[in-house]
């Protein structure tokens, strides 16, 4: 009986974000907060 074992190591590293990507993420976060504020204002009336 032959048992062959293969050991594989995978390293995943996150690439650094560019200034444009950082700005895009920041703007998305602001939009999400605006939407949550609108929802809060709408439901607060009830």
pLDDT (average), residues 27-38: 95
Can you read off the two tokens belonging to residue 34?
């605006």
Q: 11 in a domain, yes or no?
A: no
> What sections of the chain are H helices per DSSP?
19-44
Query: Does some domain include residue 28?
Result: yes
Task: Note down the domain range covering 43.
Answer: 17-46
Tokens of 1: 């009986």
3-state secondary structure of 30: helix
Residue 9 lies in a domain: no
Q: What is the pLDDT of residue 44?
A: 74
Q: What is the CA angle 30-43-26, rounded to 5? A: 5
Tell me the pLDDT band of 2, cut-offs 50, 70 and 90: low
Mean pLDDT, rounded, for 11-21: 91
The answer to the question of residue 2 being in a domain is no
pLDDT band, very low/low/confident/very high, at 42 (cuts 50, 70, 90): confident
**Within a domain: residue 39?**
yes
5 assigned to some structural domain: no
Please count the structural domains in the chain. Answer: 1
């Amino acid at each position: 009986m032959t048992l062959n074992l293969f050991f594989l190591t995978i390293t995943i590293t996150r690439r650094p974000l560019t200034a444009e990507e950082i700005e895009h993420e920041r703007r998305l976060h602001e939009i999400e907060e605006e939407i949550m504020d609108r929802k809060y204002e709408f439901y607060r009336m009830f």
